[in-house]
Structure 1
């Protein structure tokens, strides 16, 4: 598949995510919950298997919420006026989301209860994580924050325009992570120059305004730096 066609397809897919985040408050709640659970899991020092399970649960709930949103849209198109069948369709789809969300809460409680109790009994000592783990966490959190922010402003396409610049946020997040992990001035400078080029290219081709790129970079840098300060 040509790169341009792939980017267009990715834009359509991400546009769907942004639409759900913008129009469905429960979708935003799920995104907020995903950030809270992910950071809490790192904070409590859960193992990799538990972390994979928690991430999978978050993905499952968010995906089902998006399917529910699609079903609601289709139902509204098919039924212009009130119809008991339309209500049954929407209620059933919403019930699927509720089951998934409640299941995720129960499983999350089972997996996090013991680490949470140890966290309080140990004087609330924050678990330390490896640098690669923190870098991955930072990247995931930055991407979720970009989606949430873009959904509020609702301008531009997901991969082309809008506030903030996702490319800039990711580029400068990677720069901060590599700077901290390598502790090398030369490597840091090279990655920073690459990040600046990426950000500048978004402005040069007219995809973003300068302030959108700057705010995206600040979002990526600040989020990544704070997570490294907390968990390293």
Structure 2
């Protein structure tokens, strides 16, 4: 009974370590998200047993390296709260192990998925050319993603209230540009841009954004939609 309890305690402690790393380490959350995406892609592309094993081992290698890096950082901070060259070497070396594991995963993913992505992308591109609504959704998603990244660089704590650029303006002008490409109707496009302008104006008048932030959002939305429609349906 005692050995069984010790075994369950070991599993619980290991799980606590993983949870701690996920809560405190941004890179661990990124690795987990990419791991889930890779496993979903493996199922979609119906990888062989060997290919699936390679992907799984590569994922495990990256996660284990990140856990090792987290443990090293915790121990170094405990024994050397103040800066010390040896402490820096320990942390840098552990981080290098994570980098090496990530590079290995990228190489494995490249060789495993390369031959399967090309036909899939070709079919997807044909679908996008047939239905511009898909392109619009991709443009909106990319516009919002770039906007969130821009705000995170400026340390904005509320992504929908203020900051550079204005995501509301970006989305509005992205939609207006998409309407122009879809309809090729001058009146419809003009009305769409007028509505987008009203959205931008409301953000400035409400004191939520400055004029520069709204203009940056508008340029972002127009640029993303124009580039995507030109590349995919041009």
Normalising TM by the smaller chain, what interval? 0.5 to 0.7
Counterpart for residue 199 of structure 2: 198
In structure 1, stretches of 5+ residues that fail to align are 1-82, 121-125
Among 8, 16, 19, the alignment partner of 1:89 is 19
State how 1:137-216 maps to structure 2 within 5 Å: 137-155=138-156, 157-216=158-217
Q: Mark the CA change 1:88 to 1:219 in structure 2 (over 3 Å): closer, same or farther.
A: closer
Matched, 1:229 2:164: no
Higher relative contact order (Cα pairs below 8 Å, separated by 6+ residues): 1
Report the Cα distance in structure 2 between the residues aligned to 1:157 and 1:202, rounded to whole angstroms: 15
Kindly provide the CA deviation profile for residues 45-99 of structure 1, in whole angstroms up to 9, marking residues without a partner as x.
Answer: xxxxxxxxxxxxxxxxxxxxxxxxxxxxxxxxxxxxxx99863532587599275
Helix, strand or coil at the partner of 2:162: coil
Q: Mark the CA change 1:88 to 1:166 in structure 2 (over 3 Å): closer, same or farther.
A: closer
Q: Mark the CA change 1:132 to 1:105 in structure 2 (over 3 Å): closer, same or farther.
A: closer
Q: Mark the CA change 1:114 to 1:162 in structure 2 (over 3 Å): closer, same or farther.
A: same
Helix, strand or coil at the partner of 2:151: helix
State how 1:1-232 maps to structure 2 within 5 Å: 87=17, 89-91=19-21, 94=28, 97=32, 99-107=35-43, 110=46, 113-116=115-118, 127=126, 128-155=129-156, 157-232=158-233
Contact 1:156 1:162 in 2 (8 A): no
TM-score for both structures, normalised by structure 1: 0.53
How many residues are aligned here? 147
In structure 2, stretches of 5+ residues that fail to align are 1-12, 48-112
Report the Cα distance in structure 1 between the residues aligned to 2:164 and 2:21, rounded to whole angstroms: 34
How far 1:136 sits from its partner (Å)?
A: 1.3
RMSD value over aligned CA atoms?
3.4
Helix, strand or coil at the partner of 1:142: helix
